[in-house]
Amino acid sequence: MTESTAIKHYDVVVVGGGIAGIAIAELLARQTTFRVKVLEQTEKLGQGASGKLEGWFHTGGLYSGVEDPQTFMNCVNALEDLINLYSSHFSPHCNFRLKERAPGVFVPGVVPYENGWFEEQPVLYLLPGEGSPDVSRSKLRSESVLWKLQRQRVLSRLESVYGGKHNWLVAGRCAAPDPDWIEKTQETTGILLEPNNTLDGFCRRHDQCHGAEPSSYDVVRSNDVPMDPARIMRDLVASAMAHRADFETSVSLDTFGMDKRTGRVASLRYRNRCGDYFHVRARLFIFAVGSGFDHLASLLAVKPSVKVIKSYMVVAYPALTSLSFARMSPKVSFHFNHLYVTGRGAGGQIEYSMLGDSGFGAQGATTSEFIGGTDALIDSAKDYFGMDVIQSRHLFAYECLKTEFIGKSEEERRYS
């Protein structure tokens, strides 16, 4: 007699137990009566999430200078969803709320809370001026012109979205501004500019390291903030399980069954950690995976439009500074960001720095090897903080992959 395979039915099966898959499962379980199952191939939920390591909550600042506003608007719309769908349910832990910036005008902001998901420490963006080495030494006049356009785009987009020109409170709900209105709003007042003496010192050291005289930089306050992904995932999983969602880890996906009439996935076969096979049927399968999607795509015989960007990060402990900042530049080699992160260690609270290639402009990352990528990061860091300071820290390097699904329709582009 052959070995039997248990057959189970669900309304929705989510493949991928990272922060995206967890959030999808939690929302479906909380807002519907669907029976939801989450399948994760690694041993722990969220094990492969780069956000768990980095903890940078993006609200659009990093992508505000890109000509195509898709990624910028994705971040802005995600903030709308966060406040409408999570802030009240997970109060006070989900502490991104609408705050009154001017009489009757509300914009998103972090409300300080000791055990909150987000910290009230904005990421500051550095906009180099014409005297900076990455701008002044350009051999192509077109680069300088393009940078001026990007710089103006950054200022106008961020100010129109977060500077009080748009009232996010509409009929008692959070409502992000319309993309067309954002693109048409070009005038700037400088309301988000926030001079910082410490950053001025870092920038002077950076310019001098490149043989240039100290130049002027604009410092822009963004709505990007550090977040606590581990706490967020714990709260989401607890809520999902309270609404009867089922999570299973250490599974091995074997075969997918397709509905011949619709061409959609109708079932899958997987093996659990004990080696037992299960046949799962569902009305809807959602694939919330990143770097592992190539394998799944081959099993599904589909060719999705996917963009994968490789980057590197270096952890420096103790922290180099308590400021979080990112440099925007027309030259890829000058991209750099520093994120100040706090966490809990065996001896209590710890503070460390996350160093990265900010990737401003969302260009595809170069295919430099791991050592070359991390060396470039350390060299960039020493330009701001000094080699003695860098060498006095414990340093650890990581390779990260960012996977984007490129949508075609307007609705797909909103959530790609």
Query: Which pLDDT value is given to residue 406?
Result: 63
Q: How many domains does the chain have?
A: 2
Domain end residue (candidates: 248, 267, 300):
300
**Closest among 57, 91, 415, 95 to 239, alpha carbons compared:** 91
Q: How confident is the model at residue 400 (pLDDT cuts 50, 70, 90)?
A: confident
Range of the domain at 341: 56-227+306-415
Kindly state whether residues 46 and 60 are assigned to the same domain: no
Mean pLDDT of the chain: 89
Kindly state whether residues 197 and 122 are assigned to the same domain: yes
Give the chain's end-to-end CA distance (angstroms, integer). Answer: 47
Kindly state whether residues 253 and 212 are assigned to the same domain: no
Question: Can you read off the two tokens belonging to residue 132?
Answer: 């900076």
Query: Which pLDDT value is given to residue 188?
Result: 92
Question: Per the domain annotation, does 14 fall within a domain?
Answer: yes
* C-alpha gyration radius of the chain: 23
Residues in the chain: 416
pLDDT tens digit sequence for 341-377: 988 777 788 899 999 986 654 444 444 577 778 899 9
C-alpha 256/C-alpha 265 separation (Å) is: 7
Question: Per the domain annotation, does 94 fall within a domain?
Answer: yes
Cα 140 to Cα 130, 213, 214, 331, distances in angstroms: 13, 21, 22, 12
pLDDT tens digit sequence for 228-273: 998 999 999 999 999 999 999 999 999 899 888 888 899 999 999 9
Kindly state whether residues 223 and 237 are assigned to the same domain: no
% of the chain beyond a pLDDT of 90: 66
In sequence order, the β-bridge partners of residue 8 are 280
Question: Per the domain annotation, does 1 fall within a domain?
Answer: no
More confident residue, 143 or 171: 171
pLDDT tens digit sequence for 47-102: 866 556 668 999 999 999 988 898 899 999 999 999 999 999 999 999 999 999 99
Kindly state whether residues 107 and 198 are assigned to the same domain: yes
Kindly state whether residues 247 and 381 are assigned to the same domain: no
Kindly state whether residues 240 and 112 are assigned to the same domain: no
Q: What are phi and psi of 333, to 5 degrees?
A: -65, -15
Kindly state whether residues 121 and 190 are assigned to the same domain: yes
Q: Dmax over Cα atoms in the chain, in whole Å? A: 82
Q: How confident is the model at residue 28 (pLDDT cuts 50, 70, 90)?
A: very high
Domain end residue (candidates: 270, 300, 330):
300
CA angle 160/164/169 to nearest 5° reads: 105
C-alpha 288/C-alpha 75 separation (Å) is: 17
Kindly state whether residues 26 and 101 are assigned to the same domain: no
Domain end residue (candidates: 300, 325, 357):
300
What pTM was estimated for this model as a whole? 0.88
**CATH number, domain with residue 243:** 3.50.50.60
Kindly state whether residues 193 and 296 are assigned to the same domain: no
Kindly state whether residues 61 and 28 are assigned to the same domain: no
Kindly state whether residues 270 and 361 are assigned to the same domain: no
